[in-house]
Amino acid sequence: MTQSLRASEPTDQVLIAASIKGDKKSLELLIKRYQDYIYNISLRLFIHPDDALDATQEVLIKVVTSLKTFKGNAQFSTWLYRIAFNHFLNSPKRKTERLIEENPKAFGSFSEEVDETISEAEVEEVRILCSTAMLMCLNREQRLIYIIGEIFGADHQLGAELFDTTPANFRVKLHRAKTDLLQYISGKCGLVNPKNPCRCNKKARVMIDRGLVDKNNMRFNASFQQRIAEIVKLTKDETCDDIEFRMKELFFSNPFQIKNELDKMLTGIVA
């Protein structure tokens, strides 16, 4: 979960050593390698971009201020993501979490008819928002494990290191998260299970009327050049049936967002 390095680029170890000595440019370059992944994990965990940016900024501050404590006993990426995940799991509930807890049907309604005046961009905004919101049927730990293990492809060994557990235990927790999410989504989403009547183009009018989707302020169908499927290879194993695979495809088709605000935040943090 980091960008590939060119041969001419310094390694993490080189940047860490320079950063500890006070080289702010090295520190900024080091954190930039990971900030987009932290944000995209945060976005799927907390849904609302503002909440995700706030949580990401809090993590970046912790990483920068704690860098001198890094001993090199694990890979830097593992150390960094542990800080991020511990913060995500223990931080106060965010706005969208509270919204869904108070109104669990907030994203559930849809129209019987398709509104032909709604653009494809708005329908795509609905698809991305709704699929991400469905992750809220899981508790925070389950969401984070699913995001890391299924969407971003961490293997069981890496997952165990990130969550400070055994590979077997991580495998069990990931399986439970997938099972619970599949049970929820397969009974609601028509993209995952064609037998369901709910479709994004039917849900769009409801979400627009509720102010959840604004064609002049796209929050999800924006700020990206790649989708998850272009970063993580989409595979189907022997135990994966068609509905489970369509659920996986649904999340892999969502954007990997790049926020310019992150660079501004980071510059302010390391200044």
Alpha helices (H) in the chain, listed in sequence order: 12-20, 24-46, 49-66, 76-90, 95-102, 120-133, 140-146, 156-162, 167-185, 200-209, 228-231, 242-252, 260-270
- Collapsing DSSP to helix, strand or coil, 3 comes out as coil
How far apart CA 232 and CA 179 sit, in angstroms, is 21
The answer to whether position 184 is within a domain reads yes
The answer to whether position 201 is within a domain reads yes
How far apart CA 17 and CA 26 sit, in angstroms, is 9
- C-alpha pair distances (Å), 130 with each of 47, 57, 92, 144, 254: 10, 25, 23, 17, 11
Overall pTM surpassing 0.85 (yes/no): yes
Residue pLDDT, tens place only, 75-87:
999 999 999 999 9
The answer to whether position 2 is within a domain reads no
Domain that holds residue 131: 12-270
The answer to whether position 54 is within a domain reads yes
The CB-side HSE value for 245 (13 A sphere, CA atoms) comes to 9
Q: Confidence band (pLDDT; 50, 70, 90) for 95? A: confident
Count the domains in the chain.
1
- Give the distance, in angstroms, between the CA of residue 88 and the centroid of all CA atoms in the same chain: 12
State the virtual CA torsion across 89, 220, 195, 146 in degrees, nearest 10: -20
The answer to whether position 7 is within a domain reads no
Pick the range with the lowest mean pLDDT from 40-49, 116-125, 223-232, 236-245. Answer: 236-245
Q: Confidence band (pLDDT; 50, 70, 90) for 6? A: low
How far apart CA 240 and CA 23 sit, in angstroms, is 48
The answer to whether position 39 is within a domain reads yes
Q: Tell me, what's the pLDDT at 73?
A: 85
Structure tokens at 82: 């542990």
The answer to whether position 196 is within a domain reads yes
Q: Tell me, what's the pLDDT at 97?
A: 87
